[in-house]
Every structure is written in C-alpha cells, then in structure tokens.
Structure 1
C-alpha cells in the first residue's frame, strides 16, 4: 500500500504543474506535504530527508554544472549582439537563387544557435522573430516556414554543446554509477557529459541533413512553396566577416571537448569569453546589453538550480515511499525485458514532454528510471541520446508541443495555428525515422565515443 503513495505523489505533481504552479516549488512543496502526512501516519521515514543537505552540498561541489550558466551566458550574448541576425542574412545571400535556400539558411543558422543556447524556447523565439517575416515576404508557404522554424528550434536538445545534454549527462552519470553499485560493482565505470556530446554528433548532424534534404525535395516537387530569394550576392570578404567568427567560436568550443583538450566546463568558459569578445569586436556590446545578458543568465541559472533542489526533495520522498522499488518490480514483470521497459519509459517521457520542460524531466524522471534501465544493460550514451531525441519530438508534436506555443506567440495573426501544426508533421516523421534508425543501429551514438576514448 505504501508504494502506491509514491504514484499518488507523482500524479499530484503532474496535476499541479498542469495548473501552472511554479515547477521548483511544486516539486518540493508537494513532496514535503506528502512526507509530513506520511510521518504523522507512520508510513514515512524522515531519515530520507536527512540526506537532503548532502544532496545540495553535492550539487554545489559539482563542477560539471558550472557549464550551465556559462553556456547560457554564451548563447545570451550571441543573441543580444545580433550575431545570429547577421549570420542568417549572410547565409541567405550565400544561397541566393536556390529554391529553398532561405529555408536551408534557417536550418543551418538555427543549428549553430541551438549549439550555443541549447534552450528550445530561446531558439524558436529568436528564429521566429528573425526569419519568419523574411520567409513570408519571400513567398514561402506559411506551413513550410513555420514548420522549418519550429523543427530548427528543437535542435538545441541534440546538437552539442547544449544545456540539455549537460544536465542529462550529469544525471545519467549518477544513475550509471548507482546502477553499477546496485549490481555490486564497487569500482563503477563513469559516463561524462563529453561522452554525450560526442555521441550526439552523428545523430544531430544526420537530423540536420534530413531537414535540408526535405527542403530540397519540397523545392523540387512544390516550387511555389519555397521560392528562391532575390538578395544581392555576397562577397568572399563578407562571408569571412559574417560567417567565420561565429562558426569558429562553435568549432573551438566543441573541438576542444572532442580533442580532449578541455572539459565541457572549461569549454563553456572559452565559449562565454569568446562570445563576449566577438560581440565587442562587432561593436554590438555595451554596458546595458552586457547587464541584460548577465541578468538573463542569472534568472535562467537560478531557475535551473531551484528545480534541481526541488527535484532532490521529490526524489528522496518518492524513494521514501518505496516508489523506486515499485517501478523496478513493474519493469521486471514486463514481457520483453529491457526492450519493453525502454519503450514504456520513452512513451512516458514523450507524454510528459507535453506538460514538463526538459529540465524537470531530466531531474525528476531520469533519476528514477535511469538506474533501472542501465542495470538492464543499456548503454548510458545511447539512452541519453534517445531521451534527448524523444523530448525533441515531443516538443514538436501537436497539439501541446512547446515549440508550437513559442512560435505562435511571435507569429503574426495572418499565420493560422493550423498551418503551424501542418508544417511540423514532415519534421516529426523525420525525427521518428532517426529515432528508429538509432534504435536499430545503437552504434550511431556509441561508436564515436568509443573511438575517441
């Protein structure tokens, strides 16, 4: 009976979040309310909560999480210094005369913007404000324009280096060690955020390639939906000035991690300083902009770590009520073993992606199911990439996908909501195709990390 209280706790949290209550305080407050009632009725052991100070202190000592505010700062500076806007304009001129060239430019620029921010909402809103008016003015069909922007905005889930992969890598690392300890392996192997970055490279670039291929096919079979732009040609000097600096910054950040010259935390510092220097060199950084970037970074960072603390309280109370054992028993009784257990988890995460952001899912759901799945023999890098792709698809799927809401908020009223929904369907099918390929060929995610180790 006590184990089912943990399920009531989980359902209560989901219900309150759907009603719009703040995530961090909902997680902690609901868990503490259940723990209080459980303590008074004698079904909850308060010694579980005694571990909370150690959890918080461990978070404070976690050097990997330092990358979170630094990557956020990097993306915020690039956004406020109009680097993304100049990059989009340069790419559009580079593809002038090519049908679908503006859409391809949006995908490429969105990929680099996703790599620098890793936050779906920020990328969708930024690309929506920058590129949607240009695409509509150029004669793009509204469904194609909005679908391209929404799909590109979700690339922040899978394109490294992203905040989603940093948080997911840290949580999976702890889950992997816990799984090995549960199997009486007292010298556990580890998986790092860098491993997840490397593992995401091939699937991420394949997904970008699929997006571009779709736009080229769309231009071939429906030329009126993706007309060529008539911008003036771009010179080599303008290419070097507009394209190379931000591309070099991303390559240095990611390359230093892949080469083993820097950890993700160190690379995030390089990225933040590099973005600041790039903005200053372009004359797009002054004190008000820097203050705004720092304030935005502080707000997002505080949100992330408050959710982390709230999730720690929730997980301790959930375990105190025997929720972890209940889920473990459920997975063991499923026919099909690890395959069916993984399918169930992916379905649950997909549905939760309609009501929760990736941060809440990463901190609440993954620590619960991660150790169980990894103990069944799943590769942690493969599991992490699958979760990231799954969430990316969830954020894009009508009618509740977050990316759709973000774009609806900045799109003109002349663009109907139905056009946004129709526009994302081909991209959802492409993502499902990639998820199926990754399921069939796990080496797509695991081969490169094993080679570079």
Structure 2
C-alpha cells in the first residue's frame, strides 16, 4: 500500500506545481501531510536529521559563492568592455555582432554561471546595437537568449553543482565532463549564425568599415588585452584550480568570489552600495535555492520511506525495458516538464526518482548528469515559462514583441536538441576528458 501512495504523492506534488503553487512549500507541505498519515509522529524525528545533513553538505557551500561571484562580476562592467571589443573583432564578418554575443556569453558563462545576469546584461548592451545595425529582431533576441543560457552547461554552473549533489557524482567531474559538450554547443550556435548571414545577408549585416578603422587606430591591442585578460584570470583561477586538482569546487568558488571582488575594485566600480546589492541578491537567490532543497529533502525522505524508489525501479526493470529506451523517456519527460516548471524543481523532483533506475541499469551517472543539464538548459528557452525570455522581454525596447522573441529562440532550441543527440550517440564527449584528467 505505501508503494502506491508514493505514486499518489508524486502525482499530487507535480499537479500542484503545474497549477502554480509555490514550489518549496508544495514539496515540503504535501510531503509532511503524506508522511504524517503514513508514518505518524516518527516522521518528525527523522526529518530534522535529513535537513541538517543536507544543510551540512560541504559541496552546497559552492552555491552562494558562485552566485556572489556572478552578481559581483555583473557590477564590474567587464561584460560591457568584452562585448564592445568582441563586436569590433568580429564586426568585419556578416553576423559578426551575433557571433560576438555568443562568444561573450560563453566567456561570461565560464566566469559567472548566472543565466539571469548574463541575459539582462547582454540584452541591455547588445540588443539596441544589433537592432540599430539592421539585424533581424528574431535573430537578435534568439542569439541573446541562447547565449545567456550557456551558463547552464559551461562550468562553473549552479545546475551542475545541484545535479552532482543529487546524483552523488563528483562536482569536479561534472565540471570537466561538461567542457566538450559546451564547446560543441557554442560551435553549433556560431555555425547557425554563419548560415543565416550567408542565406539572408540583410538579417545579419557587417559593421561599417569606418567604425572598424577607428577601433584599429585607437588602441585596439590595449582594449583587447584589457577586455580578455581580467575574465581569463578569473576563469583560470576558478576552473584551472579545479581541473588541476589544486582545489575542490567549493574552494574554487571561494577563490572566484574573492577574485570577482578584486576585479570590481580594479574596475573602480566597488563601493558600499555595490557590496550591499550583491550581498542582498546573493542572500535572496541562495535562500530561495536552499528552501527548495529543504522541501526536496522532505519529499525525498517520505517518497523513499514509502518505498517509492524501489517500487518504480522494480516496475521499470520488470518490463525488460532497454536502458536506451528508458533514457529516451526520461529525456522527453524532462524536456516537456521544462515548459512548465523550473530547472531546480525538475532537479529535486524527477532526478532523484530516476537516478536509482539508471544506476541499476549500469548507466554512467556522470554522462546522465550532463545529458540532464543540457536538457534542463532548454527550460530557460521554452515558452510559456522560459526565464530567459522573461529576462530579455523585461529589458527589450517596446517594439520587440513577445512573438518575435518566441520565434527567435526556436532554431536555438533545435540546436540544443541536436547537441543533446550528439552527446547521446557519443558518450565519450562527456567521459573522455574526466578520464584523461584523472590519469
């Protein structure tokens, strides 16, 4: 009987989330009600221990540190310098501005990992410029939204930290394993822009030769050095220390937070007001994430206590389903769920349920984790609740319609699916680099 009730618990939580109830309180509240009627007051003796164990998880300290790093970098003004410099470097090419947005998005992803900050920053800086240069509104908005979501798959990524903790996979391995898929995705984005610029030159024109000439005359190399050196320093400090085995992801996150502060001081943008804003933003985002983790802990305790994980695992295995078929079904469920609920909700509701089944089937959880991260990336782009779309709409000029934004992101969602397919067909794109680095 408890096994069947676990399915009712899962269905109830998922239905309430689709109806728009608050995630953390839905997860925690519904789980407490089901747990009380199933286990009685004994539940309230176990739950505090589970929550304390989660809050005491050393790996999760990386979350507020990476959030702080991203918000502090947003205040530093480095993104603006980088965008301006990249735009001039690629300006001679048709579609050069769009390519520069993708490259800057990748650099910011490797520096911050905060999707909202990246989309808003690039929306404010590059959207008016691209429209002024005659770029198609659809290509412009799609490029900015897609570039902003690269922070989901390119390390350091909050998604990879959370997935690693749920799947019990090394965060360092998650970071290293995501590098090649991230490079493939960035390359496919750039390839698409080149194709569009070739087929429709009017949708992605080159920059005027006069502006490029002025850039070359007025300290080009100095601007390039300044724009690239500081973000490169931070990327090496954070990711380099992890990949070299010098620091754990949590320690590297602390280095990154301090590095972002020093860069903001170097840019002469650091003051008490900036520090207050960054600290307030970090506290808000971190509190939101951790209250979700508390709710997810309650859900996991009750669901597993009812034997839901064993029941679903045995049910799937008894069907004789091939691992590949099960992987396909899970990927489809996550993709569809991304239309309606947030990536954190999917991470803490769906992933813990399917992880034991993948393990029983002998599927590499590192590979699965990267596949899920790439799939979750689409949740930021898929309407009606794609957060990147909302972020961009909030800073876009009035003439940019929601329809144009939705239309613009469709090719990039297709590209994400193609990249996901490539990683499914060739698992070595994920597993080779961690194996090589561990030698």
TM-score above 0.5: yes
Residue number among 282, 285, 292 corresponding to 2:270 in the alignment = 285
Question: Is the 8 Å Cα contact of residues 88 and 109 (structure 1) preserved in structure 2?
Answer: yes
Aligned to 1:394: 379
Aligned to 1:22: 22
1:74 aligns with 2:69: yes
Distance 1:407 1:369, change over 3 A: same
Aligned to 2:416: 431
How far apart are residue 119 of structure 1 and its match?
A: 3.3
How far apart are residue 243 of structure 1 and its match?
A: 2.1
Aligned to 1:94: 89
Cα RMSD of the aligned pairs, angstroms, is 1.8
SS of 1:233's partner is: helix
Aligned to 2:5: 5
SS of 1:336's partner is: coil
1:100-249 matches, within 5 Å, as: 100-173=95-168, 191-230=169-208, 231=211, 232-234=214-216, 235-249=220-234
SS of 1:339's partner is: helix
SS of 2:156's partner is: coil
How far apart are residue 49 of structure 1 and its match?
A: 4.8
Distance 1:122 1:327, change over 3 A: farther
Residue number among 261, 280, 294 corresponding to 1:276 in the alignment = 261
Unaligned stretches of 5+ in structure 1?
Answer: 174-190
Aligned to 2:52: 57
Tell me the TM-score normalised to structure 2 length. Answer: 0.93
Name the stretch that deviates more: 399-408 or 441-450. Answer: 399-408
Question: Is the 8 Å Cα contact of residues 94 and 233 (structure 1) preserved in structure 2?
Answer: no
How far apart are residue 425 of structure 1 and its match?
A: 1.9
Question: Is the 8 Å Cα contact of residues 313 and 356 (structure 2) preserved in structure 1?
Answer: no
How far apart are residue 114 of structure 1 and its match?
A: 2.1
Unaligned stretches of 5+ in structure 2?
Answer: none
Name the stretch that deviates more: 113-122 or 90-99. Answer: 113-122
How far apart are residue 115 of structure 1 and its match?
A: 2.5
1:293-332 matches, within 5 Å, as: 293-332=278-317
Question: Is the 8 Å Cα contact of residues 95 and 102 (structure 1) preserved in structure 2?
Answer: yes
1:450 aligns with 2:435: yes
Aligned to 1:356: 341
SS of 1:269's partner is: helix
Question: Is the 8 Å Cα contact of residues 331 and 337 (structure 1) preserved in structure 2?
Answer: no
- Once the two structures are superposed, residues 409-429 of structure 1 have per-residue CA deviations (whole angstroms, 9 ceiling, x without a partner) of 332231222222221122122
Across the two proteins, how many residue pairs are aligned to each other? 431
Question: Is the 8 Å Cα contact of residues 115 and 161 (structure 1) preserved in structure 2?
Answer: yes
Distance 1:120 1:333, change over 3 A: farther
Distance in 2 separating the partners of 1:450 and 1:159: 18
